[in-house]
A and B are shown apart, each in its own frame.
Chain A
């Protein structure tokens, strides 16, 4: 098969908020840019964000408070220079989105409305009913489209071209017919989203298989802070589909089987609006101590009935709809069943504030950038605050696009050759032709069950060792797979197999990083090391994978600043 080589100034992988925002900057600066997405841009998971996006612009709020809440929420693992940058640019970013057409909910005097969210000192989450991400994704896609950005939708980015500390393109195939193409470019940006689909109960889209992370890791580049996976307190019982924090922000209350408002025992001041990791562990603890509710006793109640029909229909209509569809319960009339669900990836591809991908603690990769959930700047540290993710994706996506514009002219295009596609072609050929006995469905089920049980919201050395062994075992068994579908048209089984390979690789990073971090910080909670250990672990994990799939760990300094280390109570 001959491999066409297309030449671009910039290639962006992923068309959610970060990818579209970067592409628009590049296009408006006159650069030739291609955006590759395995979905249609409007299907990107940014659109699923519900509750809001933070910007400190009300009279009672300040950028400094937003910084403080973010740093405290992060359990002091966030880099404070990055947090300062994000919080100070947040008001402009949100207003910019509004200027482009985002349909925010409004106050009586016509300003963007804001609501309270967990872990925040002031109502700061700007919202569009309970579909904030949807209006933002539509808006940034629409304006990128208006600017003339070329989108390659339903194309699967399979590999990067990385040699001698420099990235010079992407290898991708058309999902429709498996035609493989090299996108040769001066600069490449990854905006490929998060990795919570490694867990059985998760809130993520089917597409969130974290492909971008392991594509990078397979070239020996590091992944940062992978042990930090956020468990959101309110996923629907059974399937983990998200019920936004807006439900608690608007006044929702949590109850166990005894009718106790149990948050009184875990976070007496903030109650239901404590930080996400705190509320999630409280819920899971109630359940494992036998105070769960529902047919499987695997949930607690969230009750918003006291808000009344009008307010629920005005501010939470989508959430009500979800509970009716999946549980048959109407939150206007009755409490609904929720439990913690794997939701967000704090870790990812390490980048500096400008978005350049790190080769190691001291060096950067030339021509390679990342933003959004797949990247680790780090603005979220060990635990992300609600309504900061959409902000990060839009804001850093845009500014990384600007970085690319400013650096592109100083990068020389390294010409690609057809051999650059070989790794990707080998991977596809192996999956198509291997005639083993394992199924992807079976292996994936085992991985997800194991990660939820052993590398979830509660962890110990023992459970993590079980997970490490399981991941290694699955790696071996993956070599013995067989898929049914041998056709070249929309071979979604082949795609699921490639995606599973990625899930396996980055799961190894999650568990190996977690077992070495002998402390509890933010979302990483070790029952055998229950407190935070700043002396030994106030540092970022930098993990590398060698060619045998073995992980080695290094650590990187946290950038501290004016917000001094304190105990974290809510």
Chain B
């Protein structure tokens, strides 16, 4: 196959802001001929080098391994040095809006204050907890299967794309966020780590912990390294039960109630699930439940039809359950 280079015209609408000088941010327009060899970072460089030297952004390695240059293109978080312009044009057309990961944290152009991100990163004990032999004669023996348990969580480069794409981070300042959870999982899954329960306890706490994840999948969607943070969060949910860290709260009861409902009926009894998770505070849902009931959106517990294959489902649940509730 002969490899060719193509070019096309693209208009960039670029977020500009200097916290020291500007009351409000503004957008600057740049028209450029873009080649098929270029990535988004090349465009940032060209704006700085050919148009306005004051344009500022973080960047270093330029090949997707240092994690410095995450920004948003047309609202979608991405790592600038690893996103080919061809893909961007394919996704969004020839009008592209370049913005920082989080506008409310902008300090200068693409540069944001990432203080909250690093604070959350530090809060999950992001290191192997083990007595380090300073002069070892042998390595720990770790089988390839055990090594695979990390599930690529060690590939996370702390770019922050998932953190600032997460809707829970946006509204709940205590929430650790998907990157911190992936990091916590990286050590929880490591057979060499001695501190499983110690780290898990913080992850179980309401507001900051894994139970406040709303499972929107946005983190998996934007991760430039395919770390898939949501799958790590799910694994942490299981670990919390497995290690006996999970205590009764609305989120764990939701998980337990879900399973009970499936075991009992083979299908989900949504009303029963809410009752199970919320307990007495279910009264606050009565007005909504009543409306839903009158519109036929929910079935009362006595109206649930059991699945025809209940036997088989119960067997499946039994064989796939790893955690005791």
A-to-B contact residues, CB < 8 Å: 39-40, 42-45, 47-48, 92, 94-96, 98-101, 103-112, 128, 131, 134-135, 138-139, 142-143, 145-146, 176, 205-207, 238-239, 241-242, 294-295, 318, 321-322, 325-329, 334, 337, 439-441, 483-485, 487-493, 496
- In angstroms, Cα B61 to Cα A458, docked, is 26
Residues of B within 8 A of A112 (CB): 139
Shortest beta-carbon distance from A378 to chain B in Å: 26
**Is the C-beta of B157 less than 8 angstroms from some C-beta in chain A?**
yes
Given A40-B118, A95-B136, A112-B139, output 10 extra A-B contacts at Cβ < 8 Å. A47-B65, A47-B157, A95-B137, A99-B136, A142-B127, A146-B127, A321-B82, A439-B53, A490-B108, A493-B56
| Contact indicator B66/A99 (Cβ below 8 Å) | no
| Contact indicator B64/A205 (Cβ below 8 Å) | no
- In angstroms, Cα B54 to Cα A439, docked, is 12
| Contact indicator B61/A48 (Cβ below 8 Å) | yes
| Contact indicator A142/B128 (Cβ below 8 Å) | yes
| Contact indicator A111/B136 (Cβ below 8 Å) | no
| Contact indicator A43/B67 (Cβ below 8 Å) | yes
**Is the C-beta of B126 less than 8 angstroms from some C-beta in chain A?**
yes
> A489 with B154: in contact, given A96-B133, A322-B64, A328-B86 (CB under 8 Å)?
no
| Contact indicator A318/B65 (Cβ below 8 Å) | yes
Residues of A within 8 A of B158 (CB): 40, 42
| Contact indicator A100/B128 (Cβ below 8 Å) | yes
Please, which residue of chain A has its CB at the minimum distance from the CB of B83? A325
Write 9 A-B pairs (CB below 8 A) sorted by A numbering. A47-B157, A95-B138, A106-B147, A206-B61, A239-B62, A318-B65, A489-B107, A490-B108, A490-B111
Shortest beta-carbon distance from A107 to chain B in Å: 8
- In angstroms, Cα B58 to Cα A144, docked, is 24
**Is the C-beta of B144 less than 8 angstroms from some C-beta in chain A?**
yes
| Contact indicator A145/B122 (Cβ below 8 Å) | yes
> A131 with B54: in contact, given A99-B132, A487-B21 (CB under 8 Å)?
no
- In angstroms, Cα B1 to Cα A326, docked, is 16
When each residue 66-102 of chain B gets 1 if its CB lies under 8 Å from chain A and 0 otherwise, what string results?
1110000000000000111010000000000000000
Residues 117-149 of B at the A interface (beta carbon under 8 Å): 118, 122, 126-130, 132-144, 146-147
| Contact indicator A143/B127 (Cβ below 8 Å) | yes
Complex interface: stretch among B44-52, B170-178, B281-289, B297-305: B44-52
| Contact indicator A101/B142 (Cβ below 8 Å) | no
Please, which residue of chain B has its CB at the minimum distance from the CB of A295? B5
- In angstroms, Cα B48 to Cα A207, docked, is 16
**Is the C-beta of B8 less than 8 angstroms from some C-beta in chain A?**
no
- In angstroms, Cα B62 to Cα A107, docked, is 32
| Contact indicator B61/A98 (Cβ below 8 Å) | no
Query: How extensive is the interface on chain B, given as a class?
Result: 35 or more
Residues of A within 8 A of B187 (CB): 101
Shortest beta-carbon distance from A369 to chain B in Å: 20
- In angstroms, Cα B48 to Cα A440, docked, is 11
Residues of A within 8 A of B137 (CB): 92, 95
**Is the C-beta of B18 less than 8 angstroms from some C-beta in chain A?**
yes
| Cross-chain contact of B126 among A92, A106, A142, A241 (Cβ < 8 A) | A142
Residues 1-54 of B at the A interface (beta carbon under 8 Å): 1, 3-5, 18-21, 36-37, 39, 48-50, 52-54
| Contact indicator B3/A95 (Cβ below 8 Å) | no
Shortest beta-carbon distance from B158 to chain A in Å: 5
Shortest beta-carbon distance from B21 to chain A in Å: 6
| Contact indicator A493/B48 (Cβ below 8 Å) | yes
| Cross-chain contact of B139 among A111, A327, A485 (Cβ < 8 A) | A111
Question: Could you count the A-B residue pairs with CB atoms below 8 Å apart for me: how many are there?
Answer: 188
| Contact indicator B37/A238 (Cβ below 8 Å) | yes
Shortest beta-carbon distance from A395 to chain B in Å: 13
| Contact indicator B56/A492 (Cβ below 8 Å) | yes
> A106 with B20: in contact, given A42-B157, A47-B61 (CB under 8 Å)?
no
- In angstroms, Cα B144 to Cα A336, docked, is 30
- In angstroms, Cα B107 to Cα A106, docked, is 44
| Contact indicator B155/A134 (Cβ below 8 Å) | yes
When each residue 301-317 of chain B gets 1 if its CB lies under 8 Å from chain A and 0 otherwise, what string results?
00000000000000000
Shortest beta-carbon distance from B59 to chain A in Å: 6
Please, which residue of chain B has its CB at the minimum distance from the CB of A28? B134
- In angstroms, Cα B142 to Cα A98, docked, is 10
Residues of A within 8 A of B64 (CB): 318, 321-322, 325
| Contact indicator B3/A337 (Cβ below 8 Å) | yes
**Is the C-beta of B198 less than 8 angstroms from some C-beta in chain A?**
no
**Is the C-beta of B60 less than 8 angstroms from some C-beta in chain A?**
yes
| Contact indicator A488/B132 (Cβ below 8 Å) | no
| Contact indicator B3/A295 (Cβ below 8 Å) | yes
**Is the C-beta of B242 less than 8 angstroms from some C-beta in chain A?**
no
| Contact indicator B5/A139 (Cβ below 8 Å) | no
Residues of B within 8 A of A327 (CB): 3, 37
| Contact indicator A205/B61 (Cβ below 8 Å) | yes
4 closest cross-chain pairs (CB), A and B: A101-B128, A110-B141, A485-B54, A142-B127
Residues of B within 8 A of A207 (CB): 60
Shortest beta-carbon distance from A394 to chain B in Å: 13
**Is the C-beta of B192 less than 8 angstroms from some C-beta in chain A?**
yes
- In angstroms, Cα B52 to Cα A138, docked, is 35
> A489 with B84: in contact, given A101-B190, A110-B142, A134-B155 (CB under 8 Å)?
no
- In angstroms, Cα B183 to Cα A145, docked, is 15
| Cross-chain contact of A241 among B53, B62, B132, B138 (Cβ < 8 A) | B62
Shortest beta-carbon distance from B56 to chain A in Å: 4
Shortest beta-carbon distance from B305 to chain A in Å: 45
- In angstroms, Cα B36 to Cα A238, docked, is 12
**Is the C-beta of B150 less than 8 angstroms from some C-beta in chain A?**
yes
| Contact indicator B133/A135 (Cβ below 8 Å) | no
- In angstroms, Cα B133 to Cα A43, docked, is 27
Please, which residue of chain B has its CB at the minimum distance from the CB of A98? B139
Residues of A within 8 A of B142 (CB): 106, 110
> A489 with B66: in contact, given A96-B135, A109-B141, A337-B3 (CB under 8 Å)?
no
